[in-house]
Amino acid sequence: MPFEDGPLAIRVVSPPRNATLPRLDSTFIFGSVGSGAATLRINGAPVTVQPNGAFLGYLPMPTGDAPSYELVAEKGGASATLSVPIRHPAPPMALPDSGRLLIDAASVMPSGRVTARGDEPVRVSVRAPSNATVTLRTADGTSHALRHGTGTSFSTEVNARELAQPGTLVARRGRDSAVVRTAAVTVSDAGPRRWAELVAPADAAGSDTDKAVILRPVPNGTYKWFLLPGTVLEVTGQRGDALRVRLDSQLDAWVNEKDTRPLPDALTPRRVAANARVTATDGWSDLRIPMAERPAFQVSQSRDALVLTLYGVIANTDVVNLATTDATVRDVTWEQTASDRARFTVHLRGAPYGYLVFWDRGALVLRVRHAPRVTAARPLEGRVIVVDPGHPPDGSTGPTGLYEGDAVLMVAEQLKPLLEARGATVVMTRTARGPVGLADRPVMARRANADAFVSIHLNAFPDGVNPYRSNGSGTYFFHDQSEPLARAVERGLARQLGLRDLGINYDNLAVVRTTWMPAVLCEGAFVIIPEHEAALRNPAFQLRYATGILEGLEAFFLSLAER
């Protein structure tokens, strides 16, 4: 780390002034003071200043009515100060155990737009003083006692049809009482069945091959299903802006209402899988399953198979025709796992390498990518590698102002000639500082028919995490086909960078969800750590980061070479 001795100038990168931070015991603050010869105290606690003037402190969270970080830097009799006010989220409404009985109306559930089946349990809850009792009175006069949970929470469950009209929550303590109303629940089976067509978001990138509508296991939860626009599903419930849709008789999922189009006159879709066929080309094999309408589906992988689960589908597949020249697909089997769920297993001659699912002229197509032919002497020869310098937009900034997007672009520029020298064709998702859309990056890789996709990033921590305990290098993947590449790249990074090996991580990240090729995301270092940030400014360290990725790519493709 170079020594810098400029004038005192305190700069705090994080947290910014008036940032809203969660109420935590401790969190980090970092920035620079302009001189490595300075000393620094924050809220009276000494904080180490690095030779280049950077600092990173992990300190108790400021409290009080006007919380702030008070910084004092000193050098040679001179001093500089800076005040960084912060905010905390408003605390929940106080509910004292004495005095006038209060009830937190903002906490009442159900609220807003809620749709459920008549016999479906709906949670009713509210915050009230812990020494109170709370009862729900439904419109027909039925009473339900709410159970006291932790703190000030009270809850119960009742069937949706009992809440078709607003209910009344009554809290009592001695002779005092307080009343609040619940929202009415729309009972879905009291009227006509509702249907919706999935539509691609307006900002979705790429062609229809790339577009997908995201479904989740809970409202606003993690991404789980990636379905084709045009798929028609029954709507069975609603929570605010999230619709619950039925995939089949045993499985529901949630989708953003804005990603659907209501179909008031739709008929129940009839999806019967007919006789299927596998055709092969030089680059892939297609399993075509004719049926009348697009189904909901999910693809999973094993060591030598792709498993296509079709929801709301009856399989009536008597014949699966296979190409005699297919060196990738061995055969296809199917089973009816439930009355309206079918499972097709594509047995492969090796590990899955990539796939696409799309709709084509009345058939669902699972396109299975063939693994590339690799020579052991030059494993990267002829490979197309997409190098993705992460960000902008967004991204983290280090204590002295090094922006993640700039640093990873320098690493990518070092990696490109290394790959080209070994015979690879390199496609860069960006070559300048301007932003590139997150969804556009994997689309570029698919259009380039890339053999691998590597996204280069630098890590940071969420508020409250001690940055000195778990920093290092880590690599991320999403699909099973990408795990061997992630493991090889992580070994290369750990060897070249010499930082703590944080291992590989399954993570639901946008750029590694691409299915057509192995895809990984590297977090080679933590830009908020002063020592890491200083190293990242050094071209020699950038080269080591690039070389670690190169080693991983080379090892991965070498593992595919014909022996």
Class of domain 272-369: mainly beta
Distances (CA, A) of 334 to 118, 344, 349: 36, 4, 18
| DSSP code for 397 | B
Would you say 373 and 365 are in contact if contact means Cβ atoms under 8 Å apart? no
Nearest CA-CA partner of 6 in 407, 396, 397, 400: 400
- Domain 11-87 and domain 104-188 have a common topology: yes
Q: What is the pLDDT of residue 204?
A: 63
DSSP β-ladder status, 276-280 and 320-321: parallel
Q: Which residue has the tokens 């890590």?
A: 459
Per-residue pLDDT of the chain (563 residues; tens, 9 = 90+): 899 999 999 999 999 999 999 999 999 999 999 999 999 999 999 999 999 999 999 999 999 999 999 999 999 999 999 999 999 999 899 999 999 999 999 999 999 999 999 999 999 999 999 999 999 999 999 999 999 999 999 999 999 999 999 999 999 999 999 999 999 999 988 888 899 999 987 666 655 678 899 999 999 999 999 999 999 999 999 999 999 999 999 999 999 999 999 998 888 899 999 999 999 999 999 999 999 999 999 999 999 999 999 999 999 999 999 999 999 999 999 999 999 999 999 999 999 999 999 999 999 999 999 999 999 999 999 999 999 999 999 999 999 999 999 999 999 999 999 999 999 999 999 999 999 999 999 999 999 999 999 999 999 999 999 999 889 999 999 999 999 999 999 999 999 999 999 999 999 999 999 999 999 999 999 999 999 999 999 999 999 999 999 999 999 999 999 75
Backbone angles phi, psi at 552, to 5 degrees: -65, -45
Both structure tokens of 270: 């009839």
Collapsing DSSP to helix, strand or coil, 411 comes out as helix
Radius of gyration (C-alpha) of the chain in whole angstroms: 29
Please check whether the domain covering 192-262 is classified as CATH 2.102.10.10. no
> Tokens representing 185?
């629940």
DSSP state of 188: G
- The residues spanned by each domain of the chain are 11-87, 104-188, 192-262, 272-369, 384-558
- pLDDT, residue 510, reads 93
Instruction: Determine the Cα–Cα distance for residues 497 and 524; give it in Å rounded to an integer.
Output: 8
Name the residue among 418, 416, 456, 507 with its Cα closest to residue 223.
Answer: 507
Q: Which CATH number fits domain 104-188: 2.60.40.10, 1.20.120.140, 3.60.40.10, 2.60.120.20?
A: 2.60.40.10
pTM of the model: 0.93
| Whole-number pLDDT of residue 191 | 82
Q: Quick one: DSSP state of residue 422?
A: T
Other CB atoms within 10 Å distance of the CB of residue 37: 17
Q: From the CB of residue 270, how many other CB atoms can be counted at a distance below 10 Å?
A: 11
Q: What dotted CATH number matches 11-87?
A: 2.60.40.10
Q: Which CATH number fits domain 384-558: 3.40.1190.10, 3.40.50.170, 3.40.50.2000, 3.40.630.40?
A: 3.40.630.40
Q: What are phi and psi of 470, to 5 degrees?
A: -140, 35
One-letter amino acid identity for 135?
A: T
3-state SS, residue 136: strand
Cβ atoms < 10 Å from Cβ of 171: 24
d(CA 558, CA 484): 12
Cα-Cα end-to-end distance for the chain:
46
| Angle at CA of residue 320, ends 318 and 325, nearest 5° | 160
C-alpha span between 126 and 103 (Å, rounded): 8
361: left (phi over 0), alpha (psi -120 to 50) or beta: left
